[in-house]
Amino acid sequence: MTSTPRLALAALATLLLPLLQTPYAAAAPHDLVADPASAVNPFIGTTNEADDFPGADAPFGMVQWSPDTPNRPAGGGYEYGDNEIIGFSLNHISGPGCGAMGDVPFLPTTGAVTGTTNARFSHANEQADAGYYKVKFDTGITTELTATTRSGMGRFTFPATTQANLMLKLNGSQNAVSNTTFSIVNNTEVVGSVTTGHFCGASPTYTMYFAAKFDRPFTSTGTFQQNLTPAKTNSRPGSKIQPKSLSATPNVTGPTGEYLTFDTTANQVVQAKVGISYVSTANAQGNRDTENPQWDFDGVHQATHAAWNSMLGKIAVGGGTAAQQQTFYTALYHSLLHPNVYSDSNGQYVGFDNQVHTMPAGHAQYANISGWDIYRSQAQLSALVAPDRASDMAQSMVFDYQQSGMLPKWSLNNGETYVMVGDPGTAILADYYAFGARNFDTTTALNAMVHEASTQNNIRPGQNYLTTPGYLPANGLWNCCNLYGAVSTHLEYNTADFALSAFAGALGDTANQTKYVNRAQQWINLFNPTNHLVQPRQVDGTWTAPFDPAGPLNMVEGTSYQYTGMVPFNIHGLASAFGGNANYVGYLNNVLSTFSGAGGKADLYNEPSLALPWEYDYVGQPYRTQQVVRQVQAEHFTATPGGLGHGNDDLGTMSAWYVWSALGMFPETPGTADLALGSPVFPQAVITLGSGNTLTINAPQAADNAPYVQSLSLNGSTWNNAFLPPSIVNTGGTLDYVLGTAANTSWAASSPPPSYSGTGNPYVKIGPISSGFAGKCADDNASNIANFNPIQLWDCNGTNAQRWAAPGDGSLQTMGKCLDVNNSGLVNGVKVQLYDCNGTGAQQWRVQGASLVNPESGRCLDDPGSTLTNGTQLQIWECNNTNAQHWALP
């Protein structure tokens, strides 16, 4: 299944084994960062719509207690350019591109309570690091926040007053709230819930329960009518479906706001502990009391800081500037915020079937799977540094499948939103496994992948078009599950098929390994050899015209220029389709001449372009990867609030790209541990792997102006390959770079990373169904793909209307649909037609001699009256073995 331009993989493995087994003393170490959590600057990415949040969170935590501002962008809730805070809500999502979470903002105030209260502040009075946030309002109130995994802790310092308030804006979520509850347990504790959701306009909702306890009694309580500030609409071209603005007069059942008043004349500090749950208020109380039983704010802060140091310290860097270290560790921090722990401290969680389930002790259920985004870089990184957590994430996805029949596509809590396209759950699971997260039910995972890849379903709408005509047509009938962007969706299916193949191969399933690596090569069906670009294609096989390669038609958050290179598993094959490496280099030079999407060029602010800079490795110019990646780093990633450019962080995807690139490598090929090489940013980095081994990267000449690899050794032996052996993510080793300011154009130029082209055999045979009368074929009338379209007799002409496939499930398919007996008829003369594949008996056909029998009716496919007239609709008839019932399958 593997095509490498230079070596067969078996020979390559023989070559690499001694290198991986050779003891080697590392170069003299640099001073590694000892306290990476203090190097984190959570304000990076909080403006220019990157949409990160600066508040308190534990690694992969359920709670993100963080400030929200009036122009809060989608998910993160905080815009650095604002100078007011509307409250500190309990949960957030880092840069998803649509409004999400932001539930139950708490706002400290003094004096009379009104529903329009916001608080002004200055950034000079604000600070944050990993697990801690602090701000002083212009009113003199200081708020400090920290968090455990499932609870938040707040320390509010008021002026001396009898009217120190905590406002709970129950209807203050990012998206519309349909129901709220609120109850006073006693004079130091309140509980409640909010029901919201509708991520990107989707239908699923969730209910978040909270339980807040205070270190002193409140003196009074009351309600207020909350006047909401509309949420900001994210207008970046790469944003997902536009979020809806909050209504100023929402239709909500329950109170919109409650306040608690404290007397701070003698003691100005009020402390709060808030647990949340997606199961019940009792579980919210349990989460709070289990994880934070004391009133020790500083102790909780220190414990969370230590938890972050434990996680971030898995990649220790040495040297570089303080700004580079801050950029790096903030990116790593952002990469490890999601997916989120979703089960409670007692193991309970609400599943995709809306039933309460319980996780085994020592494991957690995870939620918020940003599939289209994270399979490209974030999933691999989380598995590399936190394989136990990533194993639970993988098992969570398997449980989601068992409860709903679907792997998550873009799920929020326990609801599938169907946002974006493709089948990313397959790639994510394969990524986790490849990078060392293997403690999950791999058998069920593989079955789930194969199920989604072999049947028409809500995760892969349009799936049957991959059978015939072998591509998703531009004029397909999209009637399900957010299917759009035929070209982009087709390429995403190809990547998912390859990831499935790689996962199957790793588990020893060679049949599915071969089948799906072959089907993955169908990208070629949308590659126009005339213009060397992927292009929309009509169902009859013609190329869509007019065609603008810089336009969005039939693309998803991108253009043909950007998507043409999105064949990450077979760059060698793609370059061959271009006519050779030199032509493909020309394409890369053109599309990477700008990084911000201008004129259809690469958009390194968004996912479809993320792999492009690394593809020079595959076509003989690794030095260009080194150069372009360094340029992207300088342009897009800085230690400032705008340090993630104008792109959503997409639950850590963009940040993970930077982490990989700063280490000098990138997981180009989803589903594998293949790492294409660039050049390191730091003089030294030491990665502690899940196996306990370490991967040490030494690059003493590393500098902003020295991205070029002059030479490289692996475990003391010369290494002239533009990739690392996949086993290194387990075995570790030592890389010693010599870097310089001038390009070494010969280094690794003739040893590209692996490309995977399959066996060259189609995964299913496709061709005409020929009649017993010479020159006549079964034909889909006018190449129409509407249900009930007649299947007729017609002169054989080789068009897509006569390209039939028998995929092995008993059906006969063309144009993405099935040969169907009208209304499941059982008698002579019932017509046959095209119809959505549904697995019913009306669509089953069995070869019997020279005939095709429909077993449900016991009748044969028949040419009425043995006519030779074009356009005659075929029927079923009592089997009689005449030429009218003789058909030859492909």
Q: What is the mean predicted confidence (pLDDT) over 865-869?
A: 97
pLDDT digits (tens, 9 = 90+) for 786-837: 999 999 999 999 999 999 999 889 999 999 999 999 999 999 999 999 999 9
Can you spell out the DSSP letters for 830-875? -BEEEE-----GGG--EEETTEEEETTTTEEEE-GGG---TTPBPE
Assign residue 599 a region: left if phi > 0, alpha if psi is -120 to 50, beta otherwise?
A: left
| Per-residue model confidence (pLDDT) at position 237 | 41
How much of the chain is in helix, strand and coil states, percent to nearest 5? 25, 25, 50
Give the burial class of 201: count Cβ atoms within 10 A of its Cβ; 0-12 exposed, 13-18 middle, 19 or more buried.
middle
Q: Are 499 and 430 in contact (CB under 8 A)?
A: yes
Which pLDDT band, with edges at 50, 70 and 90, does 225 fall under? confident
Which pLDDT band, with edges at 50, 70 and 90, does 757 fall under? very high
| H or E segment to which residue 287 belongs | helix 281-291
| H or E segment to which residue 658 belongs | helix 653-663
| H or E segment to which residue 208 belongs | strand 205-214
How far apart CA 424 and CA 443 sit, in angstroms, is 18
Query: Token pair of 668, please?
Result: 């180009």
Which pLDDT band, with edges at 50, 70 and 90, does 765 fall under? confident
pLDDT for 841 beyond 70: yes
Tell me the percentage of the chain whose pLDDT exceeds 90.
88
How far apart CA 391 and CA 439 sit, in angstroms, is 5
Q: Considering only CA atoms, give the Rg of the chain.
A: 29
pLDDT for 706 beyond 80: yes
- Sign of the Cα torsion 97, 103, 109, 114 reads positive
Angle subtended at Cα 483 by Cα 478 and Cα 488, rounded to the nearest 5 degrees: 115
3-state secondary structure at position 31? coil
pLDDT for 772 beyond 60: yes
How far apart CA 70 and CA 102 sit, in angstroms, is 12
pLDDT for 25 beyond 50: no
Q: Are 482 and 418 in contact (CB under 8 A)?
A: yes
pLDDT for 513 beyond 50: yes
CA atoms within 13 A on the CB side of 700: 7
| Per-residue model confidence (pLDDT) at position 456 | 82
* Cα maximum dimension of the chain: 102
Angle subtended at Cα 166 by Cα 163 and Cα 168, rounded to the nearest 5 degrees: 140
pLDDT for 459 beyond 50: yes
Listed residue (702, 677, 669) closest to 626, CA to CA:
677
Which pLDDT band, with edges at 50, 70 and 90, does 249 fall under? very low
Assign residue 625 a region: left if phi > 0, alpha if psi is -120 to 50, beta otherwise?
A: alpha
Strands 675-677, 723-724: pairing kind? antiparallel
pLDDT for 657 beyond 90: yes
Tell me the percentage of the chain whose pLDDT exceeds 70.
93
Query: Token pair of 571, please?
Result: 């760059």
pLDDT digits (tens, 9 = 90+) for 299-335: 999 999 999 999 999 999 999 999 999 999 999 999 9
How far apart CA 467 and CA 807 sit, in angstroms, is 7
Q: Are 610 and 658 in contact (CB under 8 A)?
A: no
How far apart CA 861 and CA 633 sit, in angstroms, is 62
Can you spell out the DSSP letters for 627-656? HHHHHHHHHH--SSTTTTTTS--TTTHHHH
Q: Provide the residue count of the chain.
A: 890
Q: Are 805 and 464 in contact (CB under 8 A)?
A: no
How far apart CA 444 and CA 449 sit, in angstroms, is 9
Q: Are 391 and 440 in contact (CB under 8 A)?
A: yes
- Sign of the Cα torsion 756, 757, 762, 767 reads positive
- Mean pLDDT, rounded, of the chain: 93
Amino acid letter for position 794:
W
Q: What is the mean predicted confidence (pLDDT) over 514-524?
A: 97
Residue 173 gets which letter from DSSP? S
pLDDT digits (tens, 9 = 90+) for 598-610: 888 999 999 999 9
| Per-residue model confidence (pLDDT) at position 220 | 97
| Per-residue model confidence (pLDDT) at position 240 | 56
Query: Token pair of 448, please?
Result: 């789930």
| Per-residue model confidence (pLDDT) at position 480 | 64
Residues 6+ apart with CB under 8 A from 493: 422, 423, 460, 463, 466, 472
Q: What is the mean predicted confidence (pLDDT) over 84-107?
A: 96
Which pLDDT band, with edges at 50, 70 and 90, does 238 fall under? very low
Please identify which residue in the block is written with the tokens 């409250």. 87
Whole-prediction pTM: 0.94
pLDDT digits (tens, 9 = 90+) for 738-756: 999 999 999 999 999 999 9
Residues 6+ apart with CB under 8 A from 160: 264, 265, 266, 268
pLDDT for 18 beyond 50: no
How far apart CA 397 and CA 444 sit, in angstroms, is 10
3-state secondary structure at position 509? coil
pLDDT for 339 beyond 60: yes
pLDDT digits (tens, 9 = 90+) for 68-95: 999 988 889 999 999 999 999 999 999 9
Domains of the chain: 9-25+368-740 (3.30.2080.10), 41-308 (2.70.98.10), 766-888 (2.80.10.50)
Q: What is the mean predicted confidence (pLDDT) over 246-266?
A: 81
Q: What is the mean predicted confidence (pLDDT) over 287-307?
A: 98
| Per-residue model confidence (pLDDT) at position 483 | 80
